[in-house]
Structure 1
């Protein structure tokens, strides 16, 4: 009877050791998954912008100097419609009614001249410098 108890205890110990090593080896093969760092943003950070008003059939200011990557926003403050058109065919906005705006981000350095597509005597100039 004592022999049976010893055999049962030894079998339980062996089974426990086997279970321990089986789970340890299994865990080594399982890759660890960590949470990724997630950043949510509503748009590009630190984008510079420059505003130009369209008033009394004039771009105000008529000439500006900006850094590469700057967004220029034209806002029509006239009762008449206007359209921003690049002389170099780089950009062309839709016709703007009073209170509407058009924007363009300048990604290349250089001098850009533009006019109103409806009133070609309205002219402006943007000098884009390297950062």
Structure 2
């Protein structure tokens, strides 16, 4: 009787250890991903979104670049950057805008005048995007 109880207890302890190790692994795997996109609403100065971007787990951000939305255009509307670059779009226009990747790789919330949107480009490629509220406004980001 004692052996049967001790085997059951040992099995239970092993299962609990496995669950703890798996939980710790998942926690660190998710929290170590620096590929984060955020939308900043300047009128309330708070984060509206915090989602994982595309790419690898590189922690080296090589630079940051700003794209202005003004006079119903992206300026610049075509840009070449290195992987590991953060792009910040700032709505300097008098209208609302929403940045959307042509392939679904990223999408901002609706940006009111003064709001900004950031996206970290960790993976090389060509990223076409447009304004969902004004589809004739387009841009291209080439990541090398």
State the TM-score, normalized to the length of structure 1. 0.63
The 1:97–1:66 alpha-carbon spacing in structure 2 relative to 1, beyond 3 Å, is same
Structure 2: tracts of 5 or more residues without a match: 1-33, 35-58
1:113 aligns with 2:128: yes
For residue 101 of structure 1, the aligned residue among 91, 113, 116 is: 116
The 1:112–1:97 alpha-carbon spacing in structure 2 relative to 1, beyond 3 Å, is same
Q: Please report the RMSD computed on the Cα atoms of aligned residues, expressed in angstroms.
A: 1.5
The 1:106–1:80 alpha-carbon spacing in structure 2 relative to 1, beyond 3 Å, is same
Structure of higher CA gyration radius = 1
How many residue pairs get matched? 87
State the TM-score, normalized to the length of structure 2. 0.58
CA distance in 1, matches of 2:95, 2:135: 14
Q: Which runs of 4+ in 1 moved over 2 A?
A: 43-47
Question: CA offset at residue 47 of structure 1?
Answer: 4.2
Superposition map of 1:22-61 within 5 A = 47-61=62-76
CA distance in 2, matches of 1:48, 1:105: 10
Query: What per-residue deviation string (whole Å, max 9, x for no partner) do you get for residues 17-46 of structure 1?
Result: xxxxxxxxxxxxxxxxxxxxxxxxxx9675
